[in-house]
Chain A
Amino acid sequence: QKEVEQDPGPLSVPEGAIVSLNCTYSNSAFQYFMWYRQYSRKGPELLMYTYSSGNKEDGRFTAQVDKSSKYISLFIRDSQPSDSATYLCSGGYQKVTFGTGTKLQVIP
């Protein structure tokens, strides 16, 4: 079993839709949870991180962590075609464990 499980998609949504991306994890030691965005043939870039359980909002993006169920979510409001990318959830500290990534396509 992978430490971080993520549905690879692809996920296609119309522009303006609310997108929900989800992951589960198995390592109870994880305290920090991160979401990265990766465009094709580029390195990942950090979108946001959350410490322990709770919500964090940054513009159109909201990250949620529920440690009791080991569930990680990212919500994107008013999705834009420029949001089309692969989204990677991850847990850990310096040694970060990534999920497979979910490929998102936002259709104009």
Chain B
Amino acid sequence: GAGVSQTPSNKVTEKGKYVELRCDPISGHTALYWYRQSLGQGPEFLIYFQGTGAADDSGLPNDRFFAVRPEGSVSTLKIQRTERGDSAVYLCASSLKAGGPPDTQYFGPGTRLTVL
């Protein structure tokens, strides 16, 4: 079946602009995660959803970052007033459920964001 998909695959924007990054999880997966991976670093946790609600958003760096998952499936990560330091690959992952032994997180290919 289809894996996690993310769109766009690449996004170039100018400093100060607003961007939206989309994640389509594997069908039936109730948990969805966002990570950010800077060059030469491991993924850094941002937020995870169980269903429609954000169960843990402690990794969001500041109030310019916001994520939603209104119907418990597709999620959108929104970044306002982008800064050059936001340039990174934004990874989305989904798992069958959250709240038990670690459920395998299946990662998408990421969206490469470049802020000029």
Chain A residues at the B interface, C-beta cutoff of 8 Å: 4, 6, 8, 32, 34, 41-46, 49, 51, 88, 90, 92-101
Contacts and interface: CB of A to CB of B under 8 A. Distances in A.
Mostly helix, strand, loop or mixed at chain B's interface? Answer: loop
B107 A49 contact: no
Given A6-B42, A43-B93, A44-B107, A94 B55 contact: yes
A18 to B, nearest CB: 24
Q: Give 6 nearest A-B pairs by CB, closest first.
A: A43-B107, A98-B42, A32-B102, A94-B98, A98-B43, A46-B104
Contacts, number: 57
Majority secondary structure, A binding face: strand
A88 B93 CA distance: 15
A63 to B, nearest CB: 13
A97 B105 contact: no
Contacts of B104: 46
Contacts of A4: 42
Contacts of B43: 44, 88, 96, 98
A93 B4 CA distance: 20
B48 to A, nearest CB: 5
B33 A43 contact: no
Contact of A43 (B44, B59, B99, B110): B110
Contacts of A88: 42-43
